[in-house]
Amino acid sequence: MTDRAAARDDVRRQHPRRVPSPREARSFALGGLLAAVAVAALCVGPGQAAPAGTLYDAFRAAYANNPTIGAQRAAVRVGLQDVAISATGFAPDISLNSDIGYRDRNVLSPGYPRIDQGSRPRGYGAGLTQNLWNGFRTTNSVARDEAALLSQRDRLSETEQFILADVATSYVDVLRDTAILEIRQKNQELLAARHRQALYQFEVGQITKTDAEQTAASLARSKADIAVAKLNLDTSRAVFASIVGYDPGPLARTGLPTALMPKSLDGAIAKAMKLNPAIRAARNAITAAELNIAVQKSGYLPSLDLSVSADRRWDPDIILPKSQLDQMSVVGRLTVPIFDRGLTPAAVQRAAEIRSQKLSELDRERAVVRAGVIQSWGLYVASESTIRSAQAQILANDRALTGATLEASVGQRTTLDVLITQQALLDSRVSLETAERDRIVAGFRLLALMSDMSLDTIRPQDLRYTPPARPVALPPMARRLSLGDEPSTLPTLRPAFDSSVN
């Protein structure tokens, strides 16, 4: 007995079933061919159930509930209070005071009797202290804190825009991973059908055991790919929930606000250099640092204060047991610093170093923003080219798979050729989903860098999904098998295939 016959007997023992006649085998091969074309046409990405969540809904939820945005808003409120604290230097200090006590006095004088007297001294008063001039410390302190507040607001704008960009990224990550999972699941169905077909063909001697094992290996690989796709989808869903605040349900396809997208790289860079919130925050931080130097230099200048007080006291004694004292004072105080142990020079030098630090941070922000714009623009443009290329690959691989399946049914192609072509079709569909995701992510990152990523500039209708344009000048067969078009014969192909399998 030859090795091929022994292998066929092993398969028959493992899969006991009726061996079809050659005519039935040919009929089954034709049914498998038609099923391959039908299932391949089905692998076109996920369809979204209605109603589905939209990207704008996710934007609104994250804007209201994201903890990172909430923390930055709290920082802005802290800056408001810093301005209020500095402004208190313009107002006077007004105070009221009162006191009461007990005093026991014993008087011993030669030739006079001893006198014991107890009294209750008491009084009340009011005081006012107003700074008239302190070397412009208060004025510069308020201006410094206002500049710092503007910087905090710019940081809040930066945080909001990049959180919304993260929302868009996690949103399309879920869409991509859902689509890839469905593509791989449908590919597994096709591979399972091919494997069953290969077992029948092997039993009747049309193919070798190697061909059957190749289909089994491809089927096993598809199962591992599905496990990885499920893991990626779960990860993307968890990231979405951490940013938006709720687990994603069915999500609608989304597009880019094309009206806001720049027309050229130079225009994008110029707009980002002018409006990017990180650059604006760095500029305001430099202004605050310069004003802080002026605040510290006020330590070299004199200070002039005015104090006004009024008191009324009752302090009875032996001579005047019912005495009452009313007094009022107005005092101007000029304080001239002479030596403060080197505190003021050190504070001025420290403020100057902080300004140098802020200048370097501005240069860094400009470089980072410029690099980010160039990277996002490049990815955006490249993704559009990748989308067109992936669409062309899908159509070409569709036709190649149809032809390879036909040729394999008459012995002109091997099973390995068909599996390789099918894998190429799968890879091109995954590439299309990834390219569409990369295009949207790059577009929203570009908008965030140009300070256009906010609920004030983006409207719900701007996010309407527009399917990418298909390649032109395609043969009729390619157009029929392109994305979104199911062959009209599909309802009759699958039942025929199922009946032949059964």
Q: DSSP readout, 213-228?
A: HHHHHHHHHHHHHHHH
For residue 329, what are the β-bridge partners? 309
In the predicted structure, residue 385 carries a pLDDT above the cut 50: yes
Taking only the tens place, the pLDDT of each residue in 132-149 is: 999 999 999 999 999 999
Taking only the tens place, the pLDDT of each residue in 278-307 is: 999 999 999 999 999 999 999 999 999 999
Are 490 and 38 in contact, with CB atoms under 8 Å apart? Answer: yes
Closest to 70 (Cα-Cα) out of 167, 171, 151, 163: 163
Least confident of 114-123, 270-279, 338-347: 114-123
Q: CB-side exposure of 339: number of CA atoms within 13 Å?
A: 1
Question: What's the rounded mean pLDDT across residues 224-231?
Answer: 95
Question: What's the rounded mean pLDDT across residues 183-210?
Answer: 87
pLDDT level of residue 325 (50, 70, 90 thresholds): confident
More confident call, 140 vs 11: 140
Q: Quick one: pLDDT at residue 9?
A: 56
Instruction: For strands 303-314 and 103-107, give the pairing.
Output: unpaired
Q: What is the mean pLDDT of the chain?
A: 83
In the predicted structure, residue 173 carries a pLDDT above the cut 80: yes
In the predicted structure, residue 350 carries a pLDDT above the cut 90: yes
Question: What's the rounded mean pLDDT across residues 452-468?
Answer: 83
Please indicate, yes or no, whether the overall pTM of this predicted structure exceeds 0.85: no
pLDDT level of residue 38 (50, 70, 90 thresholds): very low
State yes or no: cis peptide before 51, omega within 30 of 0: yes
Instruction: For strands 93-100 and 122-133, give the pairing.
Output: antiparallel
More confident call, 52 vs 49: 52
Q: Quick one: pLDDT at residue 476?
A: 42
Q: Quick one: pLDDT at residue 141?
A: 96
| Pairwise CA distance, residues 460 & 231, whole Å | 31
Q: Quick one: pLDDT at residue 316?
A: 73
Q: Quick one: pLDDT at residue 3?
A: 52
Q: Quick one: pLDDT at residue 20?
A: 44
Identity at 95, one-letter amino acid code:
S
- SS3 of 315-328: CCCCCCCCCCEEEE
With H, G, I as helix, E, B as strand and everything else as coil, classify residue 20: coil
DSSP states of 244-260 as a string?
HSS---SB------GGG
In the predicted structure, residue 178 carries a pLDDT above the cut 60: yes
DSSP states of 392-452 as a string?
HHHHHHHHHHHHHHHHHHTTSS-HHHHHHHHHHHHHHHHHHHHHHHHHHHHHHHHHHHTT-
Alpha helices in 99-136 (DSSP H): none
Query: Interhelix angle for 343-409 vs 415-449, to 10°?
Result: 150
In the predicted structure, residue 461 carries a pLDDT above the cut 90: no
Question: What's the rounded mean pLDDT across residues 480-490?
Answer: 36
Least confident of 1-15, 215-229, 427-441: 1-15
pLDDT level of residue 468 (50, 70, 90 thresholds): low
Q: Give the distance, in angstroms, between the CA of residue 466 and the centroid of all CA atoms in the same chain.
A: 23
Number of helical (H) and strand (E) elements in the chain, helices listed first: 12, 6
Question: What's the rounded mean pLDDT across residues 321-338?
Answer: 88
Q: In the chain, how long is the greatest CA-to-CA distance?
A: 152
CA distances to 82, 245, 278, 283, 294 from 144, in Å: 10, 37, 19, 13, 9
What 196-204 contacts at long range (C-beta under 8 Å, 24+ apart), as own/partner pairs, is 196/501, 197/28, 197/29, 197/32, 198/415, 199/11, 199/15, 200/20, 200/25, 200/28, 201/25, 201/28, 201/29, 202/8, 202/11, 203/8, 203/11, 203/12, 203/19, 203/20, 204/19, 204/20, 204/22, 204/25
Q: Quick one: pLDDT at residue 108?
A: 72
In the predicted structure, residue 474 carries a pLDDT above the cut 80: no
DSSP states of 263-309 as a string?
SSHHHHHHHHHHH-HHHHHHHHHHHHHHHHHHHHHGGGS-EEEEEEE
For residue 24, what are the β-bridge partners? none
Q: Quick one: pLDDT at residue 46?
A: 37
What 406-414 contacts at long range (C-beta under 8 Å, 24+ apart), as own/partner pairs, is 406/33, 409/29, 409/30, 409/32, 409/33, 414/211
Question: What's the rounded mean pLDDT across residues 165-193?
Answer: 93
Q: Where are the beta strands (DSSP E) in 81-121?
A: 93-100, 103-107, 115-119
Q: Is 497 exposed, middle or buried (0-12, 13-18, 19+ CB in 10 A)?
A: buried
pLDDT level of residue 319 (50, 70, 90 thresholds): low
Q: Quick one: pLDDT at residue 336?
A: 94
| Pairwise CA distance, residues 400 & 394, whole Å | 10
Least confident of 300-314, 375-389, 483-497: 483-497
| Pairwise CA distance, residues 238 & 244, whole Å | 10
More confident call, 498 vs 270: 270
More confident call, 81 vs 8: 81
More confident call, 23 vs 462: 462
| Pairwise CA distance, residues 464 & 172, whole Å | 14
Q: Quick one: pLDDT at residue 484?
A: 38
Q: Quick one: pLDDT at residue 194?
A: 86
In the predicted structure, residue 497 carries a pLDDT above the cut 60: no
Question: What's the rounded mean pLDDT across residues 407-435?
Answer: 87
Q: Quick one: pLDDT at residue 5?
A: 53
Q: Quick one: pLDDT at residue 296?
A: 95
Q: Quick one: pLDDT at residue 176?
A: 94
Helix (H) or strand (E) holding 81: helix 67-87
More confident call, 412 vs 83: 83
In the predicted structure, residue 30 carries a pLDDT above the cut 70: no
| Pairwise CA distance, residues 469 & 474, whole Å | 13
| Pairwise CA distance, residues 280 & 154, whole Å | 6
DSSP states of 451-482 as a string?
T--STTT--GGGG---PPPPPSS--HHHHHTS
Cα dihedral across residues 331, 337, 341, 344: positive or negative: positive
Q: Quick one: pLDDT at residue 53?
A: 85
More confident call, 174 vs 3: 174
Q: Quick one: pLDDT at residue 160?
A: 95
In the predicted structure, residue 50 carries a pLDDT above the cut 70: no
Question: What's the rounded mean pLDDT across residues 36-50?
Answer: 38
Angle at alpha carbon of residue 468, lines to 462 and 471, rounded to 5°: 155
Least confident of 233-242, 394-403, 492-501: 492-501
More confident call, 60 vs 486: 60
Residues near 15 by beta carbon (within 8 Å), at least 6 away in sequence: 199
Are 209 and 414 in contact, with CB atoms under 8 Å apart? Answer: no
Closest to 198 (Cα-Cα) out of 223, 216, 185: 216
